[in-house]
Amino acid sequence: MTKSIRIGGASGFWGDSVIATPQLLNGNSLDFIVYDYLAEITMSIMARARSKDPSKGYATDFVSSVMKLNLRQIADQNIKILSNAGGVNPNACADALRELIKEQKLDLKVAVILGDDLISEKETLNKGKILEMYSGVDFPDPDKIASINAYLGAFPIAKALENGADIVITGRSVDSAVTLGACIYSFGWNENEYDLLSSGSLAGHIIECGTQSTGGNFTDWEQVSENLNDIGYPIVEIESSGLFTCAKSKCSSGIVNIGTVSEQMLYEIGDPQAYILPDVICDFSNVELIEIEKNKIQVSGAKGYPSPKDYKVSVTYADGFRGGHLCSFVGIDADKKAQVFGDAIFQRSKTIMRAMNISDFDETSIEVIGNNSQYSIDIDETHANKEVVLKFAAKHEDIRAIGIMLKESVGLGLATPPGLSGFAGARPKPSPVVRLFSFLIPKSKVPIKIIDDKEHDIEVSHGEIYDFNQTIRPSKPEYNDIEEELIDVPLIDIAYGRSGDKGDKANIGIIARDQKYFPALCHYLTEEFVKKSFSKFLKGDIEKFLLPGSYSINFLLHDVLGGGGPASLRNDPQGKAYAQILLSREIPIPKKLLN
């Protein structure tokens, strides 16, 4: 049996750089390269592409750029390729790959995983009185649905490799499944080895966002900035025991340290003791990270529990239209000028809409960026900026309303306060509002197939019902500062931070720079402290979770993104800057710790 495997992560989203694959192929002795292309909005974009052309609906650049330019070297190095580039049309992606392999006269076998696409079941699902698993709203109108996809797991990928595939293409699978599939195939892990499955999933989670684990979006960005253009893509080396290390490609810039890996571990997770995947429920609360050499971090301690009985399913559907634009104002009172102009755009638009018997906007947004618009706390007036950017946007069920608003924003250009400017370009156009609807479906109702030289039906574990009430929560570390001399410091001085989104939720992971700060962080970073920091946006509750193994805290903010993703009018609809906002706050720390 293989003792260890090396996996490179070459894509974190549809649009990632084409330099990743040749960089990873350059002397890194890899066994697998994995590619993650899919997000909820990506599925809706691909679905629209497929509706216009039955041969589209997948990540076309994966074939036309990445594979076409590197396929021969991949074959020469005997590296297996695992990717969810299939989107909503995995067969078309595989057919294009097979044609490319034929053109280059290579001997490579392509396998496709099918079963995630449930769009043909939309009428049946609509009759099932399904409610959204978070908000409780009704199933959307089938005529407005763009995509319906279940999140599949890793065992079908492993089976395709076992059948001799060199390249495996999936539709919607969880992002980490491609990495876990390589582990299951290489080490023979079974469906009941929960800790191993959790460890393999964590390895996949750390590399699924590409350079975010090698210095990208890192709190200490200055350590990476000098040669950012040459930042290295991540590599994990995983042992059959589940122990793994994180590194980066050779001869590249970037950095891999406890901070970068910890930040990515906490990225876009909710409860770290209930990170639910199709193959296993993961518990990362006691994961430990050790720097064993420069740019090499060892990761251990992931725990696992039985897989769930259901697949999570994501539906994307159209819900009206939105539009907006950016322009800048310069000079004294730039922020006030921007606000007046933004208000005037909506006032004039509404006047015209009333004359046309069009109802009011469903939602409007004005953000004066550069005037601390993202902050809920008071900012010293002496730091007011004389150069700002106005972002205005609106939603409406009638596309005409958005068109009026965009046209009148131009028509008011000569009536605006002085200092308006903007980069020349075409006038923006209305675009569909795409909303996300999530629900659960029993695994038994989702048949999975592998298609390579022939068609194979695949059986996967139907999982168990796990009682989350039995989860033992980490206790808060003891802390007493009554007799201590305290000093207020920016949180960034003693912690790293990373934030991300899931629908209309955001998470903020905070990691102590040194374990000595962890008790104070647990004590002072309360739900109320975080709530105050985001009072401008927050509509729901806040949950706080402790990860003592990595001296981390994860906050989950509910109903905080204005609908999230393509349904939001926010400048930051995915909460990517939330960690930066929190890190700028000050908390009291015993002075002796800082010394």
Closest CA to 197 of 283, 265, 125, 95: 283
At 421-479, the pLDDT tens digits run 888 777 899 999 999 999 999 999 999 999 999 999 999 988 888 888 888 999 999 99
Boundary of a domain, candidates 307, 339, 366: 307
* CA–CA separation, 277 and 526 (whole Å): 28
Beta-sheet strands, E only, within 160-287: 167-170, 234-239, 244-248, 275-276, 281-283
The domain of 351 spans: 318-432
Q: How do residues 22-59 score in pLDDT, each as one tens digit?
A: 999 999 999 999 999 998 889 989 999 999 999 999 99
Q: How many helices (H) and strands (E) does the chain have?
A: 16, 26
Long-range contacts of 347-352 (CB under 8 A, 24+ apart): 348/408, 348/411, 348/412, 349/394, 349/401, 349/404, 349/405, 349/408, 352/404, 352/408
Same domain, 257 and 293: yes
**Nearest partner of 97 among 141, 62, 70, judged by Cα:** 62
Q: Which residues pair with 110 in a beta bridge?
A: 167
In a domain, 463, yes or no: no
Are 271 and 295 within one domain? yes
Strand partners, 378: none
Of residues 184, 373, 156, 174, the one with CA closest to residue 268: 174
374 and 515 housed in the same domain: no
- Residue 103: which residues within 8 A CB-CB, separation 6 or more? none
Distance CA 432, CA 455 (A): 37
Helix (H) or strand (E) holding 223, with range, is none
CATH code of the domain in which 342 resides = 3.30.70
Sign, CA torsion 249/250/255/256: positive
Single-letter residue type at 575: G
Which residues are CB-neighbours of 238 under 8 A, at least 6 positions away?
4, 5, 7, 183, 199, 200, 203, 244
Same domain, yes or no: 216 and 191: yes
Is 57 contained in some domain? yes
> Do 324 and 269 belong to one domain?
no
The CA-based angle 175-581-513, given to 5 degrees, is: 75
Query: 344 lies in a domain?
Result: yes
> Which of 277, 307, 337 is the last residue in one of the domains?
307
**483 and 544, same domain (yes or no):** yes
CA–CA separation, 443 vs 461, rounded Å? 8
Instruction: Give the pLDDT confidence of 80-103 residue by residue, as tens digits.
Output: 999 999 999 999 999 999 999 999
Query: pTM for this structure?
Result: 0.94
* Whether 428 and 499 share a structural domain: no
Task: Decide if 211 is inside a domain.
Answer: yes
Domains of the chain: total: 3
Q: Which two tokens stand for residue 363?
A: 């939602």
The DSSP annotation for 55-79 comes to T-SS-HHIIIIIIHHHHHHHHHTT-
CA distance 199 to 302: 5
Closest to 552 in 3D by CA, of 523, 515, 526, 499? 515
Per-residue tens of pLDDT for the chain, all 595 residues: 679 999 999 999 999 999 999 999 999 999 999 999 998 889 989 999 999 999 999 999 999 999 999 999 999 999 999 999 999 999 999 999 999 999 999 999 999 999 999 999 999 999 999 999 999 999 999 999 999 999 999 999 999 999 999 999 999 999 999 999 999 999 999 999 999 999 999 999 999 999 999 999 999 999 998 889 999 999 999 999 999 999 999 999 999 999 999 999 999 999 999 999 999 999 999 999 999 999 999 999 999 999 999 999 999 999 999 999 999 998 889 999 999 999 999 999 999 999 999 999 999 999 999 866 666 766 555 555 788 999 999 999 999 999 999 999 999 999 999 999 888 777 899 999 999 999 999 999 999 999 999 999 999 988 888 888 888 999 999 998 888 899 999 999 999 999 999 889 999 999 999 999 999 999 999 999 999 999 999 999 999 999 999 999 999 999 999 998 889 999 999 999 999 999 999 999 999 888 7
Distance CA 409, CA 399 (A): 16
The predicted structure's pLDDT at residue 374: 61
Considering only CA atoms, which of 354, 269, 308, 279 is closest in space to residue 463? 308
491 within a domain of the structure (yes/no): yes
For residue 209, give the amino acid letter: C
C-alpha dihedral (391, 392, 395, 401), degrees to nearest 10: -140
The reply to whether 141 falls in a domain is: no
Whether residue 23 contacts residue 56, with contact meaning beta carbons closer than 8 Å, is answered with no
Q: Which of 307, 335, 356 is the last residue of a domain?
A: 307
Which phi and psi angles does 71 have, rounded to 5°? -65, -40
Interatomic CA distance for residues 103 and 589, integer angstroms: 64
Close Cβ partners of 511 (under 8 Å, ≥ 6 residues apart): 258, 259, 262, 263, 266, 495, 496, 497, 550, 551, 552
Same domain, 161 and 19: yes
Read out DSSP for 324-372? EEEEEEESTTHHHHHHHHHHHHHHHHHHHHHHTTPPPPSEEEEEEETTT
Residue 373: per-residue pLDDT: 60
Dihedral, CA of residue 17, residue 22, residue 23 and residue 27, to nearest 10: 170
For the chain, the maximum distance between any two Cα atoms, rounded to a whole number of angstroms, is 76
Angle between helices 258-266 and 194-207 (to 10 degrees): 110
In a domain, 462, yes or no: no
- Is 312 part of a structural domain of the chain? no
Question: How confident is the model at residue 594, as a pLDDT?
Answer: 87
What is d(CA 354, CA 68) in angstroms, rounded to the nearest whole number? Answer: 55
Which contiguous run of DSSP H or E holds residue 42? helix 40-52
Nearest to 161 by CA among 78, 63, 81: 81
92 & 23 share domain? yes
The length of the chain, given as a count of residues: 595
Do 353 and 234 sit in the same domain of this protein? no
User: Tokens 């390895």 map to which residue?
Assistant: 203
Same domain membership, residue 418 and residue 270 = no
CA 175 to chain CA mean position, Å? 9
- Pair 422, 536 in one domain: no
